[in-house]
Structure formats: structure tokens, C-alpha cells
């Protein structure tokens, strides 16, 4: 505790600042120096300064030498070192899971370094799962997850009963990293853990394993009191892509949390089951534009004609991103009943919607779209004109020949290229009124730019 005496307090604060500056200087010095000798780094693992210990562990993990395994005993010794250090002192770790923003420590860096040691580190790491030091147990589970060996599944499953929730959560995460189906049952039990953090990691892990047998456990998780757990469970169901998850996700798409509803819509799109269309159709009326957008995307992924009606409703949404996604989805479904709605969308105030509508009409390939696509060749936006030309080429209707011929003089070279392609598909070789010589000259000029 700082002294109440002003002079002493200033002295203490000054000392803390000096220590911080020294630690930072050591960090940058180690980072900027040439690759150090392994023996020196091993010695630094026992340094007084926590930043130095963490940096040494990180540098060992970055060494390309096959001798890194020589550092394993020293790295294992500091797995229980939980001294807090700056999170990005060495590198940004990019492995899966929601652990990137947690405080860093020498023990955490040692766990990362042990990934380089690999299989040889598994047995001692399994032994440390029984350590009396909770930090060591957590970091041992962390390292085993990074190594991703099936040999660690049973020991990690045992740790799901650890007395410390953070250790249990890390063990669940590690089982997700290993992705072995034998972990489904213990992770299913962890879905009922008293800690929301453990339940969240268990749901994530089940999604990583992608086994349909996990759906019942995730069905419980998607009704969890924690919105974070429910959202993670919806994500996991989408990763598994099992039609048996559709009923639970259909309920989740009405969740009080917009994030859960959006994740449920995504999951239904990943599963691609036509039985999800009614639930997604209701989500088109959600009060969140993000949910409506995701629902439109999901309906496009399912590619069922029964989704045309709700998507046409979405084409009139007050949010441009929803209308754009709906136009894309209608193109994915490729049903002629969507043509009228997409033709209206060709006049949308936002160019991205008009462009997507033109793409959708091209995907449907209906001659009924030609009359609407021809005026789009004169759209103020070059990307819309380019997409309209592509769509006309997909339809292959000779009625577009004259308009495409005029579009050969478009100011945008990319539009002209697309028009040239479309003309090759739309020209009727039996058209006696077509001046092929003039058309050939126009094409030559368009190619020349």
C-alpha cells in the first residue's frame, strides 16, 4: 500500500515508473536482438523480472532449432508462473478460441513454447494436470490443446471436474482444439457446469469437433441463462450442420438477444435444410437489421423456392444491407417467381442493391428479365452496368443485341469487356437485319479502348 506521506508516495510511484521503464526496455532489447543462444534463454526463464521470463519463453518458442526440446524441463517448471505481463510483448497469438485478450504471463508463454516440443511434452504435461498449482494445471491444459494430440483427450476430460473453473474452461477449450469425437460425451456434461465460462468453452469445443451426437447437449446450451452460452451453442450447431438441430435453432431465432438470433440464423443457413425456411421467414421481420440480413443470407443458402415470398418482403426492407442480401438470395434460389421483385430492385436508390438485383436476374436466366435489364445498361453506376451486361449474356436473348451494341461505347473499359462477352452470347446468327461489318468494327473499337 502507498504511504500517505506525499514525499514517500511520490518516491514509491517514481520507483514503479522506473521499474516499468526498465521492463519495457528489456522487452524491446530482447525483441530487437539477434536470435539468442538457447542456453541463455533457458537461464532467463528464472530471471527476477517477469517480463524477461515471459520474453525468454516466447523466444524459445520461436526458435527454429530442433534443440528446443532441451528447454522443455525449464519451460515445464514455470508453467505455474502466473505473474501478469504485457499481453503483446512478444507476438500476437492467433489460435482459435476466445482467449486472446486474457492477461499474459510467463507460464502462458511457456505453454505456447511447449507446442514446439510437441509429443515429447505430452506425458509431463499430463502429469502437471494434477499439480496443486491451479495456474500450472491451466497452462498444462493450454499446452496440450496447442499440441492437439489424441493422447491428451482422456486426461483433459478428467480435468473437466477440476475445482477451479478457469482450469475446467481451459480443458474444454483444449478438447475443442484436439477435435476428437471421444470428447463429445465429457464436453456434453460440461455444458451443465456451474460456470458460464466453462459452458461457453464446452459449446465452442463441441462445435469444433463437429459431431452430430453433440446436438442434444447443445440443445440444452441454447436454452442457457447466459446469452454468451446460447450464442456459442448456436454457432456450434451451425458448425455441425446436422438437420436435427433445426428445431432448437428455430426457437433460438426468437431469443431475446439479437446476437443469439443472428447466430441462429447463420447456423440454419449452414445446415441448409428446407425445414428451416418458416423460422427464417419470420426472422425477416426481426427488429434487428443484422438478424434480417443474416436470415436473408440463410434463405439463399437453403435455395428453396418457398423462400421467395419472404425474400421479396426483404427486398422492400428499410435497410439497404437487407435488400442487397435478399437480392443475392433470390439469385441463389434461381426461381422465376423472383423475377418481378428483382426487376423492381433494379431501381433501388442504392447501387449495391441494383447491382445485386442484376446479378440475381442473371442467375435465374429468365427472358422475362430482358426488358428490365436493358435500361440498367445506362445506370449511373459502372458496376451496375457491368452486372447488367453479364446478366443479359446469361439470359442469351437476341432482344438485347441492339442495346448491348450501343453499350460498346460505354466510357468504362470493364463495362465494355462485359458487353463484348454478352454480345457473343446474344447475337442471333440468323438475324438478316444485323450489320455484321458495323458490329465487328464497334467490337474492334471497344477492344481497343
Q: Span 9-34, mean pLDDT?
A: 45
282-317: b (≥16 Cβ within 10 Å) or e: ebbebebebbbbbbbbbbbbbebeebbebbbbbbeb
Is 14 a residue whose pLDDT tops 90? no
In whole angstroms, give the CA distance from residue 120 to residue 114.
Answer: 9
Closest CA to 79 of 20, 150, 128: 128
The pLDDT value given to residue 255: 97
Contact of 391 with 365, CB cutoff 8 Å: no
Mean pLDDT (the chain, rounded): 87
The pLDDT value given to residue 68: 84
Q: Which CATH class is domain 23-88+103-147?
A: mainly alpha
Question: Has domain 149-240 been given CATH number 1.25.10.10?
Answer: yes
Reported confidence tier of residue 9, pLDDT bands at 50, 70, 90 = very low
Tens of pLDDT, residues 177-202: 999 999 999 999 999 999 999 999 99
Q: Span 150-177, mean pLDDT?
A: 97
Is 8 a residue whose pLDDT tops 50? no
The pLDDT value given to residue 4: 35
In whole angstroms, give the CA distance from residue 189 to residue 184.
Answer: 9
Contact of 153 with 183, CB cutoff 8 Å: yes
Contact of 36 with 84, CB cutoff 8 Å: no
Enter the pTM of the model.
0.84
The pLDDT value given to residue 88: 67
Q: Do domains 149-240 and 350-357+367-449 have the same CATH topology?
A: yes
The pLDDT value given to residue 360: 97
In whole angstroms, give the CA distance from residue 407 to residue 404.
Answer: 5
Closest CA to 55 of 76, 83, 26: 26
Contact of 196 with 228, CB cutoff 8 Å: yes
Beta-carbon count within 10 A of 244 CB:
15
For the chain, how big is the Rg over CA atoms in Å? 30
- Domains in the chain: boundaries: 23-88+103-147, 149-240, 350-357+367-449
Highest mean pLDDT among 38-47, 167-176, 430-439: 167-176
Is 49 a residue whose pLDDT tops 50? yes
Reported confidence tier of residue 92, pLDDT bands at 50, 70, 90 = very low
The pLDDT value given to residue 303: 96
Tens of pLDDT, residues 251-286: 999 999 999 999 999 999 999 999 999 999 999 999
Beta-carbon count within 10 A of 281 CB:
18
Is 120 a residue whose pLDDT tops 80? yes
Q: Span 26-52, mean pLDDT?
A: 74
Tens of pLDDT, residues 353-380: 999 999 999 999 999 999 999 999 999 9
In whole angstroms, give the CA distance from residue 429 to residue 157.
Answer: 71
Closest CA to 287 of 248, 332, 317: 317
The pLDDT value given to residue 272: 97
Is 3 a residue whose pLDDT tops 80? no
What would the CATH number be for the domain defined by 350-357+367-449?
A: 1.25.10.10
Tens of pLDDT, residues 400-433: 998 999 999 999 999 999 999 999 888 764 555 5
The pLDDT value given to residue 86: 78
DSSP 182: G
Tens of pLDDT, residues 50-90: 999 999 999 998 887 678 889 999 999 999 999 988 766 66
The pLDDT value given to residue 52: 92
Range with lowest mean pLDDT among 40-44, 105-109, 132-136, 431-435: 431-435
Tens of pLDDT, residues 217-255: 999 999 999 999 999 999 999 999 999 999 999 999 999
Amino acid at each position: 500500500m502507498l504511504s500517505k506521506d506525499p514525499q514517500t508516495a511520490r518516491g514509491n510511484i517514481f520507483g514503479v515508473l522506473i521499474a516499468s521503464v526498465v521492463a519495457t526496455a528489456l522487452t524491446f532489447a530482447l525483441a530487437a536482438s539477434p536470435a539468442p543462444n538457447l542456453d541463455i534463454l533457458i537461464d532467463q526463464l528464472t530471471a527476477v523480472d517477469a517480463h524477461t521470463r515471459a520474453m525468454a519463453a516466447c523466444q524459445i518458442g520461436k526458435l527454429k532449432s530442433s534443440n528446443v526440446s532441451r528447454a522443455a524441463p525449464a519451460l515445464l517448471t514455470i508453467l505455474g508462473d502466473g505473474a501478469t505481463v504485457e499481453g503483446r510483448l512478444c507476438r500476437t497469438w492467433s489460435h482459435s478460441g476466445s482467449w486472446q485478450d486474457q492477461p499474459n504471463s510467463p507460464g502462458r508463454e511457456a505453454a505456447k513454447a511447449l507446442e514446439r516440443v510437441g509429443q515429447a511434452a505430452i506425458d509431463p504435461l499430463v502429469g502437471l494436470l494434477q499439480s496443486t498449482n491451479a495456474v500450472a494445471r491451466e497452462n498444462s491444459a493450454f499446452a496440450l490443446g496447442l499440441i492437439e494430440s489424441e493422447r491428451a483427450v482422456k486426461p483433459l476430460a478428467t480435468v473437466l471436474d477440476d475445482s477451479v473453473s478457469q482450469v475446467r474452461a481451459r480443458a474444454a477449450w483444449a478438447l475443442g482444439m484436439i477435435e476428437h469425437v471421444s470428447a463429445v460425451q465429457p464436453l456434453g456434461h460440461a455444458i451443465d457446469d456451474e460456470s458460464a465460462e466453462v459452458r461457453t468453452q464446452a459449446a465452442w469445443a463441441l462445435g469444433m469437433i463437429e459431431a452430430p451426437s453433440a446436438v442434444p447437449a447443445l440443445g440444452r446450451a441454447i436454452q442457457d441463462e447466459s446469452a454468451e452460452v446460447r450464442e456459442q451453442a448456436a454457432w456450434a450447431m451451425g458448425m455441425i450442420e446436422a438437420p436435427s438441430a433445426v428445431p432448437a435453432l428455430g426457437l433460438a431465432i426468437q431469443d431475446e438477444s439479437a446476437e443469439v438470433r443472428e447466430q441462429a440464423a447463420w447456423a440454419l443457413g449452414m445446415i441448409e435444410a428446407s425445414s428451416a425456411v418458416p423460422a427464417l421467414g419470420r426472422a425477416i421481420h426481426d427488429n434487428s437489421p443484422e438478424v434480417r440480413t443474416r436470415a436473408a443470407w440463410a434463405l439463399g443458402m437453403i435455395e428453396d423456392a418457398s423462400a421467395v415470398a419472404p425474400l421479396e418482403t426483404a427486398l422492400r426492407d428499410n435497410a439497404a444491407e437487407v435488400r442487397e442480401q435478399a437480392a443475392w438470395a433470390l439469385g441463389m434460389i434461381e426461381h422465376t417467381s423472383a423475377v418481378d421483385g428483382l426487376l423492381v430492385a433494379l431501381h433501388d436508390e442504392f447501387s449495391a442493391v441494383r447491382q445485386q438485383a442484376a446479378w440475381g436476374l442473371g442467375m435465374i436466366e429468365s427472358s422475362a428479365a430482358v426488358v428490365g435489364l436493358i435500361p440498367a445498361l445506362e445506370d449511373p453506376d459502372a458496376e451496375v452496368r457491368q452486372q447488367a451486361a453479364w446478366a443479359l449474356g446469361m439470359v442469351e436473348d437476341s432482344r438485347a443485341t441492339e442495346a448491348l451494341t450501343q453499350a460498346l461505347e460505354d466510357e468504362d473499359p470493364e463495362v465494355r469487356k462485359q458487353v463484348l462477352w454478352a454480345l457473343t452470347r446474344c447475337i442471333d446468327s440468323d438475324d438478316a437485319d444485323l450489320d455484321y461489318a458495323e458490329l465487328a468494327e464497334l467490337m474492334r473499337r471497344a477492344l481497343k479502348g
